């Protein structure tokens, strides 16, 4: 039996400050995330960052929280369930031959807990897929590190496959292209397409991180699928951590949108590096990106997190393309990525 783990960064267990602090402590002290020598970084995290961040982040998390919990955790579980259903009805896999689970690097469901579950289920091979189409040192390798640590912790080291990116997968490119077209993007009438991806520290790039090279390949393939020139697609970055923005990949999405504020073309924004909606999309798009384009004070009025997409897209010039989330198309492409990149799966 094959055990599949769809993994992501994670989420606090609630939008309350104490739970956010617990989550951020685990996240920020990860060796892949740490930005300074450990003693100094630990001092800054515990004495400076956490006391302020847990309070400011609480309001942000409350905005995106649903009755079912964290959108990231909930939607990733829904995605895992759909991928499971596809394997169950695949005559090449057979019902019960593949078990799909959702897990997080930080918080719950933890990789350790999921590996224990797969061991109990009788998994003979484990396939780990971090849900970052373009791999980067900080998020992707943090997941991989946590995966190996969890195996050590429970004393179980089954044969394993790690799929560290799927930036050029045909199913991924097709799904992103279709979502952009479905949102109404039309280059012929002057629409401007901007792709907003998570920023990474420049020090990681200097150390050999190929994140931006993978993004460039994705853009080239996406441009062909949309029948536009690669140069007609603007790539920008978001979610910089800390005060010194010069140490992160640029340009920042916020800055690009501000530079377009006086123009009259429509802006179509997609976040193809985010597989599932999370704080960086559900909060940052309405509170940072819409005002950057439309002007200060232009934050959409949102009654419920489910209304964020519609509220942003009523601004006139701004169109937000939804992430793939737990769509049927996303489940199908994830299954395709798993089968194509692991010898554990039987091929037709």
At 348 the pLDDT is 62
State yes or no: pLDDT of 47 exceeds 90.
Answer: no
Q: What would the two tokens of residue 318 be? A: 């701004």
Burial of 117 (0-12, 13-18, 19+ CB in 10 A): middle
| pLDDT at 94 exceeding the cut of 60 | no
| Mean pLDDT of all residues in 210-229 | 98
- For 292-306, b/e burial (b = at least 16 CB within 10 A) is bbbeeeeebebeebe
Crossing angle for the helix pair 170-182 and 328-341, nearest 10 degrees? 160
DSSP letter at 282 equals I
Q: Which residues contact 53 (CB under 8 A, 6 or more apart)?
A: 20, 21, 24
Percent of the chain with pLDDT over 90: 78
Q: Please state, rounded to an integer, the average pLDDT across all residues of the chain.
A: 92
pLDDT at position 22 is: 93
CA contacts within 13 A on the Cβ side of 178: 11
Name 288's Cβ contacts closer than 8 Å, sequence gap at least 6: 238, 254
Distances (CA, A) of 121 to 118, 124, 131, 195: 5, 9, 23, 40
Contact 189, 238 (CB under 8 A): no
What pLDDT does residue 31 have? 81
Which residue, 120, 105, 163, is CA-closest to 1?
120
Per this entry, what is the length of the chain?
A: 348
State residue 55's pLDDT score: 92
DSSP 126: E
Class of the CATH domain delimited by 170-320: alpha beta
The least confident of 82-96, 98-112, 332-346 is 82-96
| H helix or E strand, kind and range, residue 138 | helix 137-154
Which tops the pLDDT comparison, 307 or 251?
251
Tell me how crowded residue 199 is: count the other CB atoms within 10 A of its CB: 22
Quick check: 201 and 136 in contact, CB under 8 A? no
Tens of pLDDT along 22-31?
A: 999 988 887 8
| 72-82 tens-digit pLDDT | 999 999 999 99
Radius of gyration of the chain, Cα coordinates, nearest whole angstrom: 20
Which distant-in-sequence residues (6+ apart) come within 8 Å of 45 by Cβ?
Answer: 25, 28, 29
- pLDDT at res. 298: 79
33-47, 182-196, 211-225, 270-284: least confident range: 33-47
Average of per-residue pLDDT across 101-128: 97
Residue 200's pLDDT is what? 95
pLDDT band at 255 (very low <50, low <70, confident <90, very high): very high
């Amino acid at each position: 039996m094959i055990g599949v783990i769809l993994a992501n960064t994670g989420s606090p267990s609630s939008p309350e400050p104490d739970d956010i602090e617990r989550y951020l402590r685990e996240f920020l002290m990860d060796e892949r995330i740490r930005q300074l020598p450990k003693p100094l970084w630990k001092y800054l995290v515990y004495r400076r960052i956490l006391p302020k961040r847990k309070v400011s982040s609480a309001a942000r998390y409350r905005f995106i929280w649903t009755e079912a919990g964290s959108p990231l955790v909930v939607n990733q579980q829904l995605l895992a369930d759909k991928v499971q259903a596809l394997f169950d009805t695949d005559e090449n896999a057979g019902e019960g031959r593949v078990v799909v689970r959702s897990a997080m690097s930080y918080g719950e469901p933890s990789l350790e807990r999921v590996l224990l579950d797969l061991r109990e289920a009788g998994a003979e091979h484990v396939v780990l897929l971090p849900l970052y189409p373009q791999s980067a040192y900080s998020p992707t390798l943090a997941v991989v590190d946590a995966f190996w640590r969890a195996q050590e912790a429970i004393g179980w080291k089954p044969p394993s496959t790690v799929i560290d990116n799927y930036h050029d997968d045909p199913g991924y490119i097709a799904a992103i292209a279709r979502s952009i077209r479905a949102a109404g993007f039309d280059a012929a009438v002057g629409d401007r397409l901007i792709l907003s991806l998570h920023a990474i520290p420049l020090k990681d790039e200097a150390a050999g991180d190929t994140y931006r090279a993978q993004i460039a390949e994705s853009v080239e393939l996406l441009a062909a699928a949309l029948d536009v020139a690669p140069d007609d697609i603007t790539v920008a970055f978001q979610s910089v951590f800390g005060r010194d923005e010069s140490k992160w990949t640029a340009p920042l999405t916020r800055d690009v949108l501000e530079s377009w504020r006086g123009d009259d073309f429509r802006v179509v924004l997609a976040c193809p590096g985010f597989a599932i909606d999370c704080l960086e999309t559900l909060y940052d798009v309405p509170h940072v990106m819409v005002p950057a384009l439309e002007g200060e004070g232009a934050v959409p009025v949102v009654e419920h997190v489910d209304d964020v997409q519609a509220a942003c897209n009523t601004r006139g010039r701004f169109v937000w393309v939804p992430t793939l989330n737990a769509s049927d198309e996303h489940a199908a492409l994830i299954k395709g990525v798993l089968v194509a990149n692991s010898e554990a799966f039987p091929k037709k």
